[in-house]
Amino acid sequence: MPEQNLKTKAAKGFFWGGMSSGLQQVICAVVGCFLLNRLTGDDYGLVGMLAIFTGIANTIQEGGFKAALINRKEFSARDHNAVFWFTVMVSAVLYILLFCLAGPIARFYGEPELVKLSRILFLSFFFNSLSISSNAVLTRRFLIKQKSMMELISVAAGGVAAILFVSAGYGYWALVANTLVKSVVDALLKLTLTPWKPDFNISFTPIKEMFRFGFGLMLASIASQLQSNIFSVVVGKYHTKKEVGYYYQGTKWAAMANQVFNGMVTSVSQPLLNSAAGDRGYQVAIFRKICRMMAFLACPAMLGLAFIAPEFFTILNPEFMPAVTILQIYCLYQLAACIQGICGQAAIAGGRSDIYLTFTVINAVLQIAAAFLTHRFGINIMAVSITGVAFLAVIIWYFMLRPVLDIKLIHLFNDFVPYFVLSLLVMVATHFIVSPIHNTLILMLAKIVVAAVLYVLVMKVADAQMYKDAVKFIKERKLD
């Protein structure tokens, strides 16, 4: 792919991936605020207890085949068809298994309501399996705009369903409706509108060819899901479901903010790095450019979210004020996760799913150990320990990624730390500027506006390259 054409596709991919993720998270935020004002910690706690099961089921059904399809040098409709039918069959078996396990899961937590709730919620991962091959087609062909629009519609549909359910007084079923409707609409849109359709000419030979690469990613994703969701299990087992709700809310909003940047980067990073295979110097340049872009956007956003957390929960529902500290800690956690995500994409693009698997297992073991060792001291201390491990994991990634990319630790430091420090200084300055304001809503809005203006001014005065690139792109972009 010619370099200029690659840059054009990358720019469009970043734009549409970022815009889609941003709009999706805006919708999720609006719906989340609406639900937060009407649901209780217990409602969120019940659904949060099931996160680990849906997460692992989604991972097993995909089996790493989406990434394997994208990474495949030569691919055909036959490959996509094989993945489609294989993942559908796997997800059907998984649903039947989890349907039967609903009773034991409810008894483990001591929550009888989980039987019916889980059996309906678990349907979502079956519908997710219907769009795996379509996602690979859209990503591989850089059809990011089309993919983004479909996902935006499905998120909006799920949000409408959630609002209707909670308005009708169905409580936590609104959360189930949100997830299930989103999965169904996304599957229908992608099956209908993607320029590839499954057929009944089924051959599983491509599955065997992709199995080794995909299986490694699947194991890595399972480990990642265990790491991400084991904390809800620990809190749910040893603490109250209300505390699970607080923990769920704190981590949820930080993760939602991170998804904006994740969507922007993951939409193009793997195919972009893969297209530069064979030119290690160019791959390093792409990798570092992605790192700087992520830092430029994520540092002010995540620190800003932590900054307005007290006002946010005070306005929406003071019952959730215990979630403020969790949210602030997890904003830092998500910054480390941003770096980890870019490193993971580089490993996958380099065909090294073994490195990705090894890192993910190490990271999962460290995080789970931290959770079990510190949960007795309260959920805040547990969150701090998990965040500390996340930053340690960035160092581990650096050493493990060396066979794939000739990066130096100082590169990661130079690409992220300046934006973090400048963002932190902006938040400190904003705090003193807005401190005379006492109205909670006005205070939150003032924090957002003042911090945004100061950050832009600081970037402009510092003559930051990413700021100049962003301004140039906004002025000159010509999108289809």
Instruction: Name, in order, each residue with C-beta under 8 angstroms of 285's C-beta and a sequence gap of 6 or more.
Output: none
What's the CA gap between 50 and 123, in Å, rounded? 13
pLDDT > 70: percent of the chain: 76
pLDDT of residue 74: 62
Q: Which of 166-170, 340-344, 393-397 has the lowest mean pLDDT?
A: 340-344
Task: Work out the pLDDT band at 281, boundaries 50, 70, 90.
Answer: confident
Q: What is the mean pLDDT of the chain?
A: 79
The tokens for 328 are 């602030």
Contacts of 100 (CB under 8 A, 6+ apart): none
Residue 307 and residue 427 in contact, taking contact as beta carbons nearer than 8 Å: yes
* Lowest mean pLDDT segment, chosen from 99-113, 142-156, 176-190, 304-318: 142-156
Mean pLDDT of 13-36: 70
pLDDT at 42 over 90: no
Q: Average pLDDT, stretch 209-235? A: 65
Asked if pLDDT for residue 3 goes beyond 50, the answer is no
Residue 302 binned pLDDT confidence (cut-offs 50, 70, 90): very high
Average pLDDT over residues 319-330: 88
pLDDT score at 355: 82
Mean pLDDT of 256-261: 73
Q: In the prediction, which pLDDT does 430 show?
A: 95
Confidence (pLDDT) at 181: 93
Q: Report the alpha-carbon distance of residue 309 to residue 220 in Å, rounded.
A: 32
Mean pLDDT of 60-84: 68
Pair of tokens at residue 410: 């100082």
How far apart are the C-alpha atoms of 367 and 393, rounded to whole Å? 10
pLDDT at residue 332, rounded to an integer? 92
Decide if 44 contacts 249 (C-beta within 8 A). Answer: yes
Q: Which whole number is the average pLDDT over 126-133?
A: 83
Mean pLDDT of 27-35: 82
Residue 1's pLDDT band (cuts 50, 70, 90): very low
- CA dihedral over 354, 360, 364, 370, signed as positive or negative: positive
Q: Are 403 and 283 in contact (CB under 8 A)?
A: no
Mean of pLDDT values over 35-56 = 77
Q: What is the pLDDT of residue 225?
A: 65
DSSP for 321-345, written as a single string = TTHHHHHHHHHHHHHHHHHHHHHHH
Mean pLDDT of 386-413: 84
- pLDDT value of position 366: 87
pLDDT, position 231: 63
User: Which pLDDT tens digit goes with each residue over 230-251?
Assistant: 666 666 666 666 777 777 778 8
Of the candidate ranges 97-111, 221-235, 332-346, the one whose mean pLDDT is the lowest: 221-235
Place of tokens 């659904």: 47
User: For position 403, what pLDDT does the model report?
Assistant: 79
Q: Is 456 helix (H, G, I), strand (E, B) or coil?
A: helix
Cα separation of 171 and 39, whole Å?
6
- Region 295-301: mean pLDDT is 89
pLDDT bucket at 222, cuts 50 / 70 / 90:
low
Res 454: pLDDT? 94
pLDDT at res. 29: 77
pLDDT score, position 479 = 43
Instruction: State what percent of residues in the chain have pLDDT above 90.
Output: 15
Rounded average pLDDT over 72-98: 79
**293 confidence band (pLDDT: 50, 70, 90):** confident
Whether pLDDT at 65 is above 70: no
Mean pLDDT of 28-33: 80
Q: What is the dihedral sign for C-alpha 247, 51, 128, 185?
A: negative
pLDDT value, residue 58: 67
* Contact (CB, 8 A) for 141 and 9: no
- pLDDT tens for 428-475 read 999 999 999 989 999 999 999 999 999 999 888 887 777 776 666 555
Q: Higher pLDDT residue, 248 or 424?
A: 424
Taking only the tens place, the pLDDT of each residue in 141-188 is 767 777 778 888 998 999 999 999 989 988 889 988 998 999 999 889
Q: For residues 215 and 90, is the Cβ–Cβ distance under 8 A?
A: no
What's the confidence (pLDDT) of residue 414? 84
**What's the pLDDT at 12?**
55
The backbone region for 466, taken as left when phi is positive above 0, alpha when psi lies in -120 to 50, beta otherwise, is alpha
